[in-house]
A and B are shown apart, each in its own frame.
Chain A
């Protein structure tokens, strides 16, 4: 076997054009697949942080299947429950702050007990602050804002000049990038939502308390839409994978370039291959040995293509922060993302990519070689 492996390597070195076409045909889509799968796994991990650090129950009004604002009076009502530890109202809205630039305005009072570790510069505002906000790093960079500078926030209800007191860290999650974080009362004033919130976040004693409270609320108040942490976890984690979304496009590219690679190795190089097989048969090689040699050649090609694709994807995403590539996988992201792109490289994805590329190349090489190797030598030479 080592001799055959060496001969397979020798064959590849002798035909660099064929090997290069195969490596490029397989390696290109594999690079996209590995990078996309790593970003998907990284985002899924960050989504888990969002779920686990989030509330136990989210309550809002249901308006024909869509969310509607909920009166803040529910906060007091919900606080009375024996299952509840903490109830916080929140406003989530979007606002155009410059041409083609959306900001996500988040109105929620900070938990004062925690030390502010999520800031890159400046400080955090107080809950009772009237005109102070903290900005996401990408938004601050795009608008050229630093702590101490002022920003005019204009809605249909009011025009409000706010002072930027802090810039959020770049080491947070993807979703922090374009946030304007303001105290709840300030966001209410900005969006004319007096006595209203977009949702109410409830923290309960434990998961069982959350389930009981959610059941009780669903029975007592049919207008409410209630989402528990368990429900969110179940639904969101099934949304991350490598079977749908942009991966469908990657598979289409893989299929197309696989066909091209097959053409190169089985069609365009068939004459050359037939001559090689005939020569080996003349030297006394059996069909089995020829097939082993050819499959080793394909294996070496696939090993080279998958190693190169993995290393390129790893360097592109981890070292250079996925320029030009991340925006293919994440919506509303700049070509050169200003935040750290989450990524998690997995041996399983690499193995899957290697397996698929092996299946393609073996199908493309073994069948024509077998057909050539099984006919008598005289026929092959003709």
Chain B
């Protein structure tokens, strides 16, 4: 039994040596082929989606900034897009004014302070 305990500890040490060796191995580098194609295409693909079959947004939000599947089938409820809710990426809606929107909620009386539209 004693020797089995020793064996267990030695096996554990060997396993962890293998883990450290795995981490120390060079990770698969970005290859020149990938850089070449992305340069040629001006950048294509950002999310965890291989073919853009039904959801452009998760494939590349530069092509479609918002997932239209969120609107369907129930327009007033939060909907589910099976394409991008189940992947390793969870991309936010890509629009320039998402963080600094042009529209805003107005306080009481603020309407008078807004510039009035010019009447013809």
Contacts and interface: CB of A to CB of B under 8 A. Distances in A.
The answer to whether A and B interact is yes
B88 interface: yes
A13 B39 contact: no
Interface string A161-180: 00000001101111111110
B46 A10 contact: no
Given A174-B50, A231-B96, A240-B89, A92 B44 contact: yes
B40 A114 contact: yes
Given A116-B36, A168-B37, A247-B88, A231 B94 contact: yes
Contact of B83 (A173, A225, A332): A332
Contact of B34 (A90, A173, A310, A314): A173
Interface in B32-85: 32-55, 58-66, 68, 82-85
Nearest to A6: B5
A343 B59 CA distance: 18
Size category of the B interface is 35 or more
B50 A58 contact: no
Interface string A143-160: 000000000000000000
Interface residues of A, number: 100
Contacts of A235: 61, 91-92, 94
Contacts of B85: 245
Interface of B is mostly: loop
A43 B88 contact: yes
Contacts of B62: 54, 58, 199, 227, 232
Nearest to A117: B36
A13 B55 CA distance: 51
B50 A331 contact: yes
B48 A66 contact: no
Contact of B86 (A6, A232, A331): A331
List of 10 A-B pairs having minimum Cβ-Cβ separation, nearest first? A54-B43, A175-B45, A239-B91, A53-B38, A40-B88, A201-B42, A102-B53, A307-B15, A10-B5, A245-B90
Interface of B: 1-2, 4-6, 8-9, 12, 15-16, 18-19, 22-23, 27-28, 30-55, 58-66, 68, 82-92, 94-96
26 contacts: A6-B6, A12-B8, A13-B1, A13-B5, A39-B48, A39-B88, A43-B88, A46-B30, A50-B43, A110-B40, A138-B50, A177-B51, A199-B63, A232-B94, A235-B61, A236-B94, A239-B90, A244-B90, A246-B86, A307-B12, A307-B16, A311-B22, A328-B86, A331-B83, A339-B50, A346-B23
